A and B are shown apart, each in its own frame.
Chain A
Amino acid sequence: MRDLKHLIEFENLLLEANNELVRQGKADGNLALGYTCSFMPEVLLDLPGCFSVRLRAPRSSTPDMATYYMSNRTCLYGRSLLERALEGGFNFLDAELATETCTVTCRFQEHLQMMNIIQNPKFFCEFVDVPFKKNENSLEHYETQLRVHVLDRLHEAFGIDTSDGALREAIRQHNEVCELITKIGAYRKLERPTITGFEFALIELVSLTCPKYLILDKLRDILEDLQSRQPDEKPAYRCKVVLAGSENDDPYFTKLVEDCGALVVADRHCYGSLPGREQIEIMDGETPLHAIARHYLMHEMCPRFMEQNTMRERKQFLADLAKEYHADGIIIEQMKFCEYWSYERCIDTLVLPRDYGIPVCSIEKEYVNAATGQLRTRFQAFVESIEIKKIQGGEKK
């Protein structure tokens, strides 16, 4: 397939957290607001006068300083973020809007509070308590937390306009981005998809880490470009897969999967778009903040939700994704030391093939993609097993 517009630029933008567009956003007089977890609604951090930056630590190697503080037995995502912060890589942040949604990222953010790491006199780190259920009680609680710990805090500290009007404007911009990304992502549903998982991962990650107003035009260009893009005569992939699992902000991991012959057609992981890029709908009589809280709480599919029905629905959701995106199998990745996903991966690996007949490849990975040789072997074997199943299925027919 011919190259998509802006993709090389996007790839370069993802090489550092304080990238060109972030610097431009700051130069335009906006505040850079960091966050780590999808439970922190990015739309609230994209209010007029500020923009959200979901933290990544690209090009990380061994986080030596962070390992002193957090030991070598914690997830490398949290440690790499702390290392990057200690190196000064997050000094551009004006605030960190934190969540205690998983232990290690929480501890990373607490280090920002404790150690005065971010060399920015205005900087603060504020925590939001995020509920574990999707009921009315949780929604009310979540909304209150977002109002007090995000909106009021931003207003008090920086004078940000947090009125309903400003929120509606933020939602409008957010929805525009989501709509574009969803339309772009829909090309993955085609019988012969005209966008690769790697390309889509670049787009999704840029949308999470750069000021939205600076990428909107580029997203429109990409969508337009896709409308006339033709698939390769002979597909470069041998099967299609859903990539699911824990934190994964490394587009080269997706590329690794695709290099092994499995086209990634759906991304259901912490930095993915499924869920994540659904548009926020404001119901009649509903305040924008309530709509945001409801949207984020109800759409989230994190394994930290512990109600019986939500625990079980997650498997159905994954199976539905595989069906909708015509995937032949699911790769479930789990960041080493992620407790939520270690259990979720375990049960997914057992229940999805049994109850839905979907082949699953279950792997553990590091933040820094060091074990590529071993992973490559696993993915190649998985692709082959799917091919064999297809052949056997064909013979039976």
Chain B
Amino acid sequence: MKVLKVIGKIAAILSAVYAVLFAVFYFDLDGKFFYYVFEPMMVKHFDQMKHRDIMDTPYAQDVK
């Protein structure tokens, strides 16, 4: 009986997780999160990043 209860609980939790995931899927919440939150954050990060200037690269006749 206890085992069944545990299984039932697990099934209920999994079902709830599944239902939440389906809601995320159906309402495109993943897309909205990445578009409105994640991407702007990354853009800010990359815009502030310092890059090596190509002018610092030598242009020798022989490359080894």
Taking beta carbons and an 8 Å cutoff, which residues of A are in contact with B? 308-309, 312-313, 315-316, 350-351, 354-355
* Segment of B5-13, B25-33, B43-51, B56-64 engaged in the interface with chain A: B56-64
**B-side contacts of A316, CB under 8 Å:** 61
Chain A residue nearest to B62 in the complex (CB): A309
- Consensus secondary structure, chain A interface: helix
User: How many angstroms from the CA of A354 to the CA of B56 in the assembled complex?
Assistant: 10
List B residues 12-53 near A (Cβ within 8 Å). Answer: none
| Interface assignment of B55: CB less than 8 Å from any CB of chain A | yes
**A-side contacts of B60, CB under 8 Å:** 312
Measured as residues with beta carbon below 8 angstroms from the partner, the interface class of chain B is under 10
User: How many angstroms from the CA of A359 to the CA of B33 in the assembled complex?
Assistant: 51
**B61 with A351: CB separation less than 8 A:** no
New contact pairs (6) apart from A308-B63, A354-B55, CB-CB < 8 Å: A312-B59, A312-B61, A313-B61, A316-B61, A350-B54, A351-B59
User: How many angstroms from the CA of A313 to the CA of B60 in the assembled complex?
Assistant: 9
**B-side contacts of A309, CB under 8 Å:** 61-62
User: How many angstroms from the CA of A354 to the CA of B61 in the assembled complex?
Assistant: 15
**B55 with A350: CB separation less than 8 A:** yes
User: How many angstroms from the CA of A354 to the CA of B59 in the assembled complex?
Assistant: 10
User: How many angstroms from the CA of A125 to the CA of B1 in the assembled complex?
Assistant: 91
User: How many angstroms from the CA of A16 to the CA of B7 in the assembled complex?
Assistant: 93
Chain B residue nearest to A352 in the complex (CB): B59
User: How many angstroms from the CA of A312 to the CA of B64 in the assembled complex?
Assistant: 14
- Minimal beta-carbon separation of B61 from chain A (angstroms): 5
User: How many angstroms from the CA of A55 to the CA of B55 in the assembled complex?
Assistant: 39
5 nearest A-B residue pairs (beta carbon) = A351-B59, A312-B61, A355-B59, A308-B63, A316-B61
Most interface-central of B54, B61, B62 (chain A CB within 10 A)? B61
User: How many angstroms from the CA of A355 to the CA of B54 in the assembled complex?
Assistant: 14
Chain A residue nearest to B58 in the complex (CB): A355
User: How many angstroms from the CA of A182 to the CA of B43 in the assembled complex?
Assistant: 57
User: How many angstroms from the CA of A338 to the CA of B15 in the assembled complex?
Assistant: 62
13 contacts between A and B (CB under 8 A): A308-B63, A309-B61, A309-B62, A312-B59, A312-B60, A312-B61, A313-B61, A315-B59, A350-B54, A350-B55, A351-B59, A354-B55, A355-B59
Chain B residue nearest to A312 in the complex (CB): B61
**B-side contacts of A313, CB under 8 Å:** 61
- Minimal beta-carbon separation of A356 from chain B (angstroms): 10
